[in-house]
């Protein structure tokens, strides 16, 4: 792994928090992700399932975590199953975790090979009434590809049809939404790497560069700083492409007079960051570009201040929408009379600001969380208002990552340049 070791205290605490939410007589199972094939004998780089990582710190394929708090054999209350390595595997793929290494990383005393899983699991299943199984219940998930969790659910329900089955996903949504100090430090590290990437770009962007060249600079800086790479597909959108929310082609040449909207963030130790910045390709904003940019920045600052304990996400988004509505009128995008007569369910500002302002951030970029749960200290959310004016070829989004605390919001990207004057200065050095 590229990142520095994480203290096992994080994972020990996470498992205890899980145990506190399980029914008596329960057994919970977490599976690693598959290694995804491409074609022929090709595969993608392995990316761990974030739930098993959250619970164990194990970043290796074919791993299984079993948590059975009431197991009669105390050694079986937490079991980590690993793929058994061999000389052949070590030669072709490199070393895998030993049992001792996995125990140090996870804080789990009992580590067994996966060849023993079925025998041990059947024994434990006979002792419990509830089986907690995991699956991806994210609202925006694409579930067309069958996962190891999906296959395990089918096998388990066939082998043990009379048990009471429970969902782990609601528990994970609750636990993962509030970050521990160790997790916040890891997110800070991801944000720090992202800052290095952005500052690098300010000295690189100029008329004539290609969007994919900008993307290459991002990859270089991230990998150089112990990141696996971007936490998600980077958006590098110049000119009219900035009005396409999920533009990832990154194949256009940046032209004089364009803005370039960049949405990217480094991963570090599986934790993510998420930054958006919009800069002028020439190194100077036009008056109109500057007016739009400043409007979005004003909305962002007010929105960040709303990220406080007790605020509900729905109310927050509505309030931010009101701010953007006023800015849109001031920019001449909307008519005040039309706004006054609008359908409240279809506000006119959504023509120019059509996405939400914030989402949870953590092990996933769009991290799991309850949309109806009020903001709580320890949550980390993005704040990313934007304006997209297709007729003018102007798209501006500004995004920072914010920690909710009892004393108010803490901007984890506060040192990343955002003021128009500072961006222009750095681009023209």
Q: How far apart are CA 8 and CA 10, in angstroms?
A: 5
Q: Which of the residues 77, 397, 401, 424 is marked catalytic?
A: 397
Active site residue 388: yes
Q: Which of the residues 325, 399, 401, 424 is marked catalytic?
A: 399
Q: Which of the residues 132, 293, 352, 388 is marked catalytic?
A: 388
Active site residue 97: no
Q: Which of the residues 199, 200, 308, 366 is marked catalytic?
A: 366
Active site residue 401: no
Active site residue 399: yes
Q: Which of the residues 359, 360, 401, 424 is marked catalytic?
A: 359
Active site residue 384: yes
Active site residue 316: no
Q: Which of the residues 213, 355, 373, 411 is marked catalytic?
A: 355
How would you write the chain as a 3-class SS string?
A: CCCCCCCCHHHHHHHHHHHCCCCCCEEEEEECCCCCECCCCCECCCCCCHHHHHHHCCCCCCCEEEECCCCCCHHHCEEEEECCCCHHHHHHHCCCCCHHHHHHHHCCCEEEEHHHHHHHHHHHHCCCCEEEECCCCCCCCCCCCCCHHHHHHHHHHHHCCCCEEEECHHHHHHHHHCCCHHHHHHHHHHHHHHHHHHHHHHCCCCCCCEHHHHHHHHHHHHHHCCCCCECCCCEEEEHHHHHCCCCCCCCCECCCCCEEEEEECEEECCEECCEEEEEECCCCCCHHHHHHHHHHHHHHHHHHHHCCCCCCHHHHHHHHHHHHHHHHHHCCCCCHHHHHCCCCCCCHHHHCCCCCCCCECCCCCCCCCCCCCCCCCCCEEEECCEEEEHHHCEEEECEEEEECCCCCCEECCCCCCCCHHHHHHHHCC
Q: Which of the residues 263, 325, 367, 401 is marked catalytic?
A: 263
Active site residue 220: no
Q: Which of the residues 246, 372, 391, 407 is marked catalytic?
A: 246
Q: Which of the residues 41, 100, 343, 391 is marked catalytic?
A: 41
Q: Which of the residues 34, 384, 401, 424 is marked catalytic?
A: 384
Q: Which of the residues 183, 211, 274, 282 is marked catalytic?
A: 274
Active site residue 359: yes
For the annotated catalytic residues, the residue numbers are 41, 246, 263, 274, 355, 359, 366, 384, 388, 397, 399
């Amino acid at each position: 792994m590229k990142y520095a070791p994480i203290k096992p205290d994080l994972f020990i605490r996470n498992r205890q928090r899980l145990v506190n939410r399980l029914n008596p007589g329960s057994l919970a199972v977490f599976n690693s992700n598959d290694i995804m094939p491409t074609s022929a004998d090709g595969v993608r780089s392995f990316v761990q399932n974030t739930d098993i990582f959250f619970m164990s710190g194990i970043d290796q394929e074919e791993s299984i975590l079993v948590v059975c708090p009431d197991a009669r054999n105390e050694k079986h209350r937490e079991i980590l199953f690993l793929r058994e390595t061999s000389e052949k595997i070590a030669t072709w793929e490199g070393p895998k975790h030993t049992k001792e290494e996995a125990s140090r990383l996870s804080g789990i005393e009992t580590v067994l090979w996966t060849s023993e899983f079925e025998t041990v699991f059947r024994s434990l299943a006979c002792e419990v009434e509830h089986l907690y199984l995991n699956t991806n219940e994210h609202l925006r998930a694409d579930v067309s590809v069958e996962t190891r969790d999906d296959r395990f659910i089918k096998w388990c329900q066939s082998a043990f049809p009379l048990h009471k089955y429970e969902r782990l996903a609601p528990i994970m949504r609750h636990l993962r939404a509030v970050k521990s100090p160790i997790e916040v430090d890891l997110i800070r590290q991801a944000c720090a790497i992202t800052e290095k990437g952005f500052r690098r770009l300010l000295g690189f962007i100029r008329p004539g560069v290609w969007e994919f060249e900008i993307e290459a600079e991002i990859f270089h800086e991230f990998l150089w700083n112990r990141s696996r790479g971007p936490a998600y597909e980077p958006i590098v959108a110049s000119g009219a492409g900035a009005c396409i929310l999920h533009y990832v082609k990154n194949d256009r040449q940046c032209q004089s007079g364009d803005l370039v909207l960049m949405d990217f963030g480094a991963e570090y130790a599986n934790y993510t960051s998420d930054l958006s910045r919009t800069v002028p390709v020439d190194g100077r904003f036009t008056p109109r570009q500057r007016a739009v940019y400043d409007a979005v920045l004003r909305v962002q600052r007010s929105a960040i201040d709303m990220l406080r304990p007790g605020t509900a996400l729905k109310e927050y988004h509505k309030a931010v929408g009101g701010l953007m509505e006023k800015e849109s009128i001031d920019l001449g995008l909307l008519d005040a009379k039309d706004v006054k007569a609008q359908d409240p369910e279809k506000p006119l500002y959504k023509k120019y600001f059509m996405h939400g302002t914030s989402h949870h951030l953590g092990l996933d970029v769009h991290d799991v969380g309850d949309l109806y749960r009020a903001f709580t200290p320890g949550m980390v959310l993005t704040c990313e208002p934007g304006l997209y004016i297709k007729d003018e070829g102007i798209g501006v989004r500004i995004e920072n990552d914010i920690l909710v605390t009892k004393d108010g919001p803490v901007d984890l990207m506060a040192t990343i340049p955002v003021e128009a004057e500072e961006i222009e200065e750095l681009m023209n050095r």
